[in-house]
Amino acid sequence: MQRRTRLTIAVVPVVAALALLVPVVLAGPGSSATVRFGNDDVASPFPPIQDHDQSGNGKFNLIPRTVAIAAGGTVTYDIFVRFGIHQPALYAPGTTPDDIQVTAFPFVNDPGGRLALGGAVGPPPPGGSATGTWTTPVLNAAGRYLVICNFAPHFAEFGMYGWIEVK
């Protein structure tokens, strides 16, 4: 009886993990995804440009950084700002962060390979926040698309970018 109990205790977590994993693997990419654009709820409440800590490393992220969707799908970005401005920009497959040139401060504004530019969200009122959403155009061609924050300090100083994998 004791051996049976141990076996059950060992097998149940494995079966549960497989039950969660199998639908994800079999389903493949969906036709849409949602990404959080900005993570201003982490680190200190002070603007990171004051060089007091590394808040920007946690704040200026896309979560998740990479999403996979099926051809013909879209990605919606939920934008949250407590400091500065966020503006998503979508670039063609094959574009890398190293290809992007900051051409006009305070925005990146590099039109080379850019497919779409969302509206700017922010700046928020003092002590408040600004929110918005932006949905990419329909992405029909397979490839790895780059999405950046077009606000130059977020992209150039903190690496605020992510990827859309279209299968």
pLDDT in tens, 23-82: 333 345 678 999 999 886 666 555 555 554 555 566 788 999 999 999 999 999 999 888
| Residue 8 within a domain | no
pLDDT at 7 over 80: no
Mapped onto helix, strand or coil, the DSSP state of residue 123 is coil
pTM of the model: 0.75
pLDDT in tens, 101-134: 998 789 999 999 999 999 999 988 888 889 999 9
Dist. CA 109–CA 69, nearest whole Å: 26
DSSP assignments along 5-39, one per residue: HHHHHHHHHHHHHHHHHHHHHHH-SEEEEEEEE--
| Residue 20 within a domain | no
Structural domain of 34? 30-166
| Residue 15 within a domain | no
Instruction: For residue 125, give both structure tokens.
Output: 């009122």
